[in-house]
Amino acid sequence: MTSWLGSTDDGTGGSRAVHLPLGREAYQATHERQLRLHALRVQGAIPDTVLSVEHDPVFTIGRRGSRENLLVPPDTLRREGIAVYDVERGGDITYHGPGQVVLYPIIDLRGHGRDLARYVRNLEQTVIDFLAAVEVTAQRRPGLPGVWVGERKIAAVGVHVKRWVTLHGLALNVRVNPEHFAMINPCGLRIEVVSLDDLVLRRYSLDEVVSGLLGAMSPLFGWRIIDQVEAEPLGRRP
C-alpha cells in the first residue's frame, strides 16, 4: 500500500490532501479511477485527493445534457478521434482534450461545511485566483457556470456528489484546439471559448498551470497538498 492511504492529519493539526498527477490519460480510464478513489474516500481510507490530467479528445455529456448540442456527425468524431461519454456530473456537454488542464477533487464535503454551492464557488475561485496571478482578469457570470474572461469562457466546472464525496471538477483551457470546441454548444450554450495562450505573452507549461491551480486551491480548502508520484494502488500502473 502506498504511504498516502490513511490519516488526513498532516501532523501539524492541519488538513492534508494528496495530489495524484496522471499526465495524459484517456477519459474512461480516469473516470474509472475516480470511482474507485471515491469509494475509498467514502470509507475514510484515503485523505482528500486531487487528480490532475490532460485527456485525449473527448466530449462528455452531463445529466442535464443533450446530444442535440453535439453539432457534428459520427463520421467526423471518428476522423478526429473524439470519444463521447454520458456521465453523472451536472451540466450539459463539454470538451476535454490536449492543451487543457483538468482537476478532479475527490473530497469529503463533510469536512468542508456540507455546502455544495460553496464547493462549486471554491472551484471557480481557484481558477480566478490562478489567472489573477498570471495577470488575467477573470470572473463568474450570473446564471452561467464556470469562469469567464469577458464573455468568453476559459474554464468549465461540473461536479457530482454522492454520500458527500465529490467527483468530476474543473477544466481550464491552456491551449486547446478551437476546432474541437466548435463541434459543440459548450454547456448547451452558443458561446465563445478562450485559452490562456490567447491572453498572455508567456507560454505556460501544463505542469506550471497544475502547480498554480493547486497553489490557489490549497488555502481555499485549508489543505497542505502533497504530491504523490508513486503508482496509486487502484489504477495507475508503475
Domain ranges of the chain: 15-227
Residue with more model confidence, 230 or 195: 195
Whole-number Cα distances in Å, 86 to 60, 64, 138, 140, 228: 6, 10, 29, 26, 30
3-class SS string, the chain: CCCCCCCCECCCCCEEEEEEEEEEECHHHHHHHHHHHHHHHHHCCCCEEEEEEEECCEEEECCCCCHHHECCCHHHHHHHCCEEEECCCCCCEEEECCCEEEEEEECEHHHCCCCHHHHHHHHHHHHHHHHHHCCCCCEEECCEEEEEECCEEEEEEEEEEECCEEEEEEEEECCCCHHHHCCECHHHCCCEECCHHHCCCCCCCHHHHHHHHHHHHHHHHCEEEEECCCCCCCCCCC
Whole-number Cα distances in Å, 177 to 24, 43, 99, 139, 195: 16, 39, 8, 23, 9
Indicate if 7 belongs to the active site.
no
pLDDT in tens, 79-101: 999 999 888 888 888 899 999 99
Instruction: Name the grid cell of 174.
Output: 491552456
Q: Which of 120, 171, 187, 213 is catalytic?
A: 187
Instruction: Name the grid cell of 75.
Output: 463520421
pLDDT in tens, 95-135: 999 999 999 999 999 999 999 999 999 999 999 999 999 99
Fold topology of 15-227: BirA Bifunctional Protein; domain 2 (3.30.930)
- Residue 188 in this model has a pLDDT that exceeds 80: no
Q: Is the pTM of this model over 0.85?
A: yes
pLDDT value at residue 222: 95
Report the C-alpha gap between 221 and 54 in whole angstroms.
23
